[in-house]
Amino acid sequence: MSPSQLKEMVNASGTRRSAVLAKGAKPMGAASAVGAIGFGDCRWPFGDPRDDNFHFCCEKTPEGAIYCLEHSALARTVMHRR
């Protein structure tokens, strides 16, 4: 499956790319994962970019944001030292 085919499938169904992978699509790695991100898709990364199963969240984002609401909240979480 080409990156453009995956992008069309994800955009048409509203399904997250990670859910598509769970249904048996072949993971594509970092270069192809970047190509599969559409305008308004969450860019939160999952996994190691060197691995074939690397992917992005791809949930829809609020207008002008790069992360979905869940990942925007995580990005703003302050970690405290123990």
pLDDT tens, position by position, 21-36? 444 444 557 778 887 7
Is residue 39 a part of any domain in this protein? yes
From CA 46, how far away is CA 40, in angstroms rounded? 18
Domain range enclosing 48: 3-75
Nearest to 6 by CA among 20, 41, 14: 20
* pLDDT at residue 27 in the model: 53
Is residue 8 a part of any domain in this protein? yes
* pLDDT at residue 8 in the model: 54
Secondary element (H or E) of residue 7: helix 3-13
Is residue 62 a part of any domain in this protein? yes
Is residue 82 a part of any domain in this protein? no
Query: Tens of pLDDT along the chain (82 residues)?
Result: 444 544 454 444 444 444 444 444 445 577 788 877 889 999 999 999 888 889 999 999 999 999 999 999 999 887 777 7
Is residue 21 a part of any domain in this protein? yes
* pLDDT at residue 24 in the model: 43
* pLDDT at residue 74 in the model: 92
**What is the tally of structural domains in the chain?**
1
Is residue 81 a part of any domain in this protein? no
